[in-house]
Chains A and B, each alone.
Chain A
Amino acid sequence: DTGVSQDPRHKITKRGQNVTFRCDPISEHNRLYWYRQTLGQGPEFLTYFQNEAQLEKSRLLSDRFSAERPKGSFSTLEIQRTEQGDSAMYLCASSLAPAGEVENIQYFGAGTRLSVL
């Protein structure tokens, strides 16, 4: 199995531009998560999908953020009208969540580091 893949690894953009990140989960994993990590902090949850359905969104996910997982495989995270406060590492994780069980090991990609100038 290949691991979780994220693209690009680094993105530098100017304030006000739109950016899109891609995440390819481990094949057969039905759950896909997005997290954001700022310097010196642990990752914070943004949103997650089970197959193609987006089941939860954090209040951190403002209207400028949108995530999709159209065919239940890869996912994209778009940020519109970027702000300097959006500068962070965006991490994607996937898991094969057994129904009704607490054990849900999430495997992470290497992340996309976004710098907004």
Chain B
Amino acid sequence: AQKITQTQPGMFVQEKEAVTLDCTYDTSDPSYGLFWYKQPSSGEMIFLIYQGSYDQQNATEGRYSLNFQKARKSANLVISASQLGDSAMYFCAISFGNEKLTFGTGTRLTIIP
């Protein structure tokens, strides 16, 4: 079965510093998509960034970038210049074809002023 692992249950980072959230996955399927979502305390899952397994370049969206290392099966999220509003739960997810997302257990990020 496909699996997503997030090994950091919680992280504390000083405001304006960069932060890396870890995500590894396990699949033998060559075609898949990797996603990161942010979930503030309000509960809504906010899409941040997407990386396809065949994409040659690492995805970037503003302050978010995805460090995709296919051979190591890792898809870490990098947030540059962290802000207080970045405090939230962050989930990594994987999907195959136009189908469901399988999520990791999440990392709670707290930005310290």
Contacts and interface: CB of A to CB of B under 8 A. Distances in A.
Contact of A107 (B32, B47, B95): B47
A43 B100 CA distance: 11
A106 interface: yes
5 contacts: A42-B104, A48-B99, A89-B43, A102-B95, A111-B44
Chief secondary structure at chain B's binding surface: loop
B93 interface: yes
Given A41-B105, A108-B45, A102 B91 contact: no
Interface string B84-113: 000000010101111111111110000000
A104 B95 contact: yes
B102 A45 contact: yes
Q: State which size class the interface on B falls in.
A: 20 to 34
Interface of A: 31, 33, 35, 40-45, 48, 56, 89, 91, 93, 95, 97-99, 101-111, 113
Contact of B43 (A56, A101, A113): A113
B44 A103 contact: no
A45 B101 contact: yes
